[in-house]
Structure 1
Amino acid sequence: MSRRTLVAGIGNVFLGDDGFGVETVRRLSAPGAAAARLPDGVETADIGVRGVHLAYQLLDGYDTLVLVDATARGGAPGTLYLIEAGADGPVAPQTPVLDGHQMSPDAVLALLDTLCAGTGAAPPRRIWVVGCEPGSLDEGIGLSPPVAAAVDEAVRMVLDLVHHQDEETPQDEPGVAAN
C-alpha cells in the first residue's frame, strides 16, 4: 500500500492573516511549478473553517497530515513555524469538539481520535503544522504584507516536508522556529 499525505489549508479568509493556510495550499495546488513537484500520494485540500470535514476526510486513511495555518506564538508577523503535533502528548482541544464553526486544529485531532476509535480507522502516523505568525486577524480579506511575503517560503517548507517525510526531522529552514 502506498503512503498517503494530506496537506490541509486551515483558516478564515475573511479574517485577514487567518487566511494564510488557505492561500498557501491554493498556491501549492495551483497548476504550475509547486503542484508539479508534489510527490505521488500527496493530496491538498482547502479546508478553511470546515474542521468536521477535515476529521471525516482523514478517515479515508492518511499516513501523514500537514496542517497549514496561522499560528500565534509571539514572533514577528510572517515568522514561520514547523511544529510536530502530538510530540508533547495527547491533544487537548481548546474549543467544544462538536462546534463545527469554531473547530481549531487541536479540536479536529481530538475528534479524529474519537472517530477512529468508533470506526477502526487509523489516525495519521505523523502530523505537522506549518504555521505563520499573523499580523492582523481583523475582519477583511487579504493577508498583511509580512504574512503574504511568507507564503512562498511556506510552500517550500511543505514541499520539503512531503519529500522528506520519512526522515526523523525535516531539514531546518533559516528563520523557522521548530517545536
Structure 2
Amino acid sequence: MTFATWWRRDSLPDLSPLPTFSARISTDIEEIARLTNHSPQVIITRLQTGNRSYLAFMGDTLVAYGWVATQEGSISDLQLSFAITPENCYLYSFLTLPEWRGRGIYPRLLQAIIRQEEQMQRFWIGYLPNNVASGRGIEKAGFHVVSDLVVSQGHVSGITLFESSEQARASADFFHLPVVTEAQKVCSDN
C-alpha cells in the first residue's frame, strides 16, 4: 500500500470550480450506514472512537464519502493498527459513487476535508498501487507520495521510503513501522 501526505505548510493546488459541489461532516448514523453498507453499530463505534464521516454532494445529491481517523487507524486487510498522535489524521475508506466517477469529486473532497479540519497539521492517506485513479486523485488534491508498506507473507514488516524528505521519514513514525531499504526488502523476499 502506497502512502501520501499533506502538511499544513504545503500549498493546495487550485482545482477548477465544480459548480454545486459541497462536502460536510455527517453524524447521521442511518444515512452513513446505508451509504457505506456497514451496520449502524459499526458507524456508532467509529464515531465514538474519534472518526469523522465526510459526505460530498453535487447539489442535493450524495456522490461520495470518506472517513477521517484522529485517534487510531487501521488497515484491516493487513492486520495493521496504529495510534494517531495529536495534530495528525488518517484519511480512509473513500468512495465516489460509480455514476459520479471521472468528474474530479475525489480531489475536491480531500481538499474540503483539509480546509475543514483546521486543527490538523498532517494528513495521511493510502491507496493500493494498482488503483491508478485513486493515486491520481490524491496527487491532484496536493498530497505528496512518500512511502510504501513492505508486506511479506501477508504480514507488514516495515515501510520503504521513496525519498529522504522529512515527510517520508515521518511516515515511518506515523505508522510506527521500521524503515526497510530496498536491499533489505530483496533479502526478505528471498
Higher relative contact order (CA 8 A, sep 6+): 1
* Larger radius of gyration between Structure 1 and Structure 2: 2
Normalised to the residue count of structure 1, the TM-score between the two structures is 0.28
